[in-house]
């Protein structure tokens, strides 16, 4: 039978104040091989299992090809770390399943299908289109990104479930806090576009999600503080965490500072921006 193969990158969402709207694709790849079959099977991490009807890989395959598939998943993106693992798996699965059925998908198809199931256009958009994206209400715009910027990620060994991170958020925020965050997003987008340190100075201290999630992973905040003190232009939670993102021009001192905070409890890596998205 025909096999379909596809890959998609991981991503860092929010980038601080851009809650549920900004996403950055990074070069950690999820690769999926799909084959149409009479039953369901997923092979990953050395084991094969039948996915439950509620599993997102099964849901996205059913939504795209409407029949069972056998999937082989090789995922470099660490799970439950705020690096867009779910979106990467879903985009790669959808593309591979469609290719196995004889249909070459478009980026628009993948973005619509995955956003509908995953629920977050920021991660889905970054995984599909690559680069820096803004997503809202099912639409997407690719944004300019300064080539002078370097992206450093402190990835704790201890995971943090997205569901748990979501539950930490309040139902409502004040109008004043919302206004301050809107201003921060404007400065953040300008800083990402130009690399201007002065713009980044006004993009810190998110009040929509980071302040409420800090108790769930204190090490994330400590890495952010260490990164800033080491010269980072901007530091933020990556997605729902617990990974911390630092944006800088010179990586070495920031990497060292963040690794000292993590000690033996995680790793710090510099990741290239995934410019091409899914393939």
Question: What's the confidence (pLDDT) of residue 1?
Answer: 61
Tokens of 147: 């080539």
Q: What is the DSSP letter of 144?
A: -
Output the CA torsion 243→201→182→107 (10° steps): -50
Question: What's the confidence (pLDDT) of residue 10?
Answer: 97
Return d(Cα 83, Cα 15) in angstroms, integer.
11
CA 276, 88, 227 angle in degrees (round to 5)? 80
pLDDT tens string, the chain, 279 residues long: the values are 689 999 999 999 999 999 999 999 999 999 999 999 999 999 998 899 999 999 989 999 999 999 999 999 999 999 999 999 999 999 999 999 999 999 999 999 999 999 998 877 999 999 999 999 999 988 999 999 999 999 999 999 999 888 888 888 888 999 999 999 999 999 999 999 999 999 999 999 899 999 999 899 999 999 999 999 999 999 999 999 999 999 999 999 999 999 999 999 999 999 999 999 999
Return d(Cα 205, Cα 207) in angstroms, integer.
6
C-alpha separations of 10 from 79, 163, 235, 270 in Å: 10, 18, 19, 14
- End-to-end CA separation in angstroms for the chain: 21
User: Domains of the chain by range and CATH?
Assistant: 3-143 (3.30.230.10), 150-270 (3.30.70.890)
């Amino acid at each position: 039978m025909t096999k379909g193969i596809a890959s998609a990158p991981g991503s860092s969402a929010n980038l601080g104040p851009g809650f549920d709207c900004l996403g950055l694709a990074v070069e950690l790849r999820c690769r999926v091989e799909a084959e149409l079959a009479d039953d369901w099977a997923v092979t990953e991490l050395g084991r094969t299992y039948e996915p439950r009807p509620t599993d997102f890989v099964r849901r996205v395959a059913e939504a795209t090809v409407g029949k069972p598939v056998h999937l082989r998943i090789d995922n470099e993106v660490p799970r439950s770390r705020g690096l867009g693992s779910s979106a990467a798996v879903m985009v790669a699965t959808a593309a591979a399943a469609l290719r196995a059925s004889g249909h070459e998908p478009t980026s628009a198809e993948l973005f619509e299908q995955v956003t509908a199931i995953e629920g977050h256009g920021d991660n889905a958009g970054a995984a599909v289109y690559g680069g820096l994206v803004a997503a809202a209400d099912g639409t997407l715009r690719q944004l300019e990104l300064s080539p002078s910027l370097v992206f450093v990620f402190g990835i704790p060994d201890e995971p943090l479930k997205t569901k748990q991170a979501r539950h930490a958020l309040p139902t409502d925020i004040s109008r004043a806090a919302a206004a301050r965050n809107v201003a921060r997003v404007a400065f953040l987008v300008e800083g990402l576009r130009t690399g201007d340190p002065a713009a980044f100075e006004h993009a810190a201290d998110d009040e929509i999600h980071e302040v409420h999630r800090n108790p769930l992973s204190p090490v994330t905040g400590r890495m952010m503080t260490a990164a800033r003190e080491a010269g980072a232009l901007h530091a933020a939670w990556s997605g729902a965490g617990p990974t911390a993102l630092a944006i800088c021009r010179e990586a070495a001192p920031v990497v060292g500072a963040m690794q000292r905070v993590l000690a033996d409890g995680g790793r710090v890596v510099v990741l290239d921006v995934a410019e091409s998205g899914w393939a």
